[in-house]
Amino acid sequence: MIEIIPAIDLIDGKCVRLSQGDYKRKKIYSENPVEIAKMFEDSGIKRLHLVDLDGAKRGKIANLWGLEKIATATNLQIDFGGGVKTTDDFLSVLNAGAKFVAVGSVAVKNTELFTEWISHFGANKIFLGTDVNDKKLAVSAWQEKTEIDIFNFLKEKTEQGINYVFCTDIAKDGMLQGASNELYSELTNHFTEINLVASGGISSLSDIIAVQKSGCKGVIIGKAFYENKITLKDLSFFINK
């Protein structure tokens, strides 16, 4: 059964969503992310994807206190990312209560440091984020595009022991127009050893079923929750299995 992983994106400590990663297209959904997290937990959800959008944009963690509050108030298994650039950052995220550290830009731009993290903390503490546009990676909160092919990138990282990966198609994110299932199918067929989590575009239960058929082990859901396209009651079939 596919794992449901709701997302909380933080800007100035508030729960927001962007459209296609555009900070100018921001919508605030709640000024109390802890209440949102508790609501998810009360429904039976076990995981939370927590993103520090301020940190991602600035290159420095800005909402660590938000992680601390949610981790203290709930028993959710949290992955936290955004602005994690140093080993001290990585350690501070774990100490603040995260079970996993979501890493994207460093894995692309500072491979030596990323390798050190794997050696020091273990690959099982890393939730590798791959943000793509036309199968090419984008980094730094999607502000920088690269010519790095996702298949070549994942080949290198899986050889280092990474097996927990989430993939966001930037063109789909926040658009509520379905997920990139063709890409996910290609990835899961090519990298049978990874636990791939889909992100972006989910707008209905049928989208979740399609993602599951693509071979993904989990799905991150954000805007669909906040826009009431999918309710927690709708997801009870997936959550309670």
pLDDT score, position 208: 95
Q: Examine the residue annotation and report whether 134 is marked as an active-site residue of this protein.
A: no
Burial classification of residue 227, based on how many CB atoms lie within 10 Å of its CB (0-12 exposed, 13-18 middle, 19 or more buried): middle
Report the share of the chain in percent with pLDDT over 70: 94
Residue of 54, 131, 169, 173 with catalytic role: 131
The CATH architecture to which 3-239 belongs is: Alpha-Beta Barrel (3.20)
Tokens of 213: 């058929």
Amino acid found at 67: L
The answer to whether the CB of 236 falls within 8 A of the CB of 209 is: no
Domain locations in the chain as residue ranges = 3-239
- The rounded Cα 75 to chain-centroid distance in angstroms is 18
Residue 159: CB atoms within 10 A of its CB come to 8
What is the separation, in whole angstroms, between the first and last Cα of the chain? 7
The answer to whether the CB of 62 falls within 8 A of the CB of 54 is: yes
| pLDDT tens digits for range 4-30 | 999 999 999 999 988 766 788 889 999
Average predicted confidence (pLDDT) for the chain: 91
Q: What is the DSSP letter of 123?
A: G
Buried (b) or exposed (e) across 55-92, using 16+ Cβ within 10 A?
Answer: bbbeeebbbbebbebbbeebebebbbbbbbbeeebbeb
Q: In whole angstroms, give the CA distance from residue 98 to residue 77.
A: 7
| pLDDT tens digits for range 45-78 | 999 999 999 998 888 999 999 999 999 999 999 9
| pLDDT tens digits for range 110-146 | 999 999 999 999 999 999 999 888 888 987 655 678 8
SS3 of 81, please?
Answer: strand
Q: In whole angstroms, give the CA distance from residue 183 to residue 198.
A: 10
The answer to whether the CB of 197 falls within 8 A of the CB of 218 is: yes
Q: Examine the residue annotation and report whether 131 is marked as an active-site residue of this protein.
A: yes
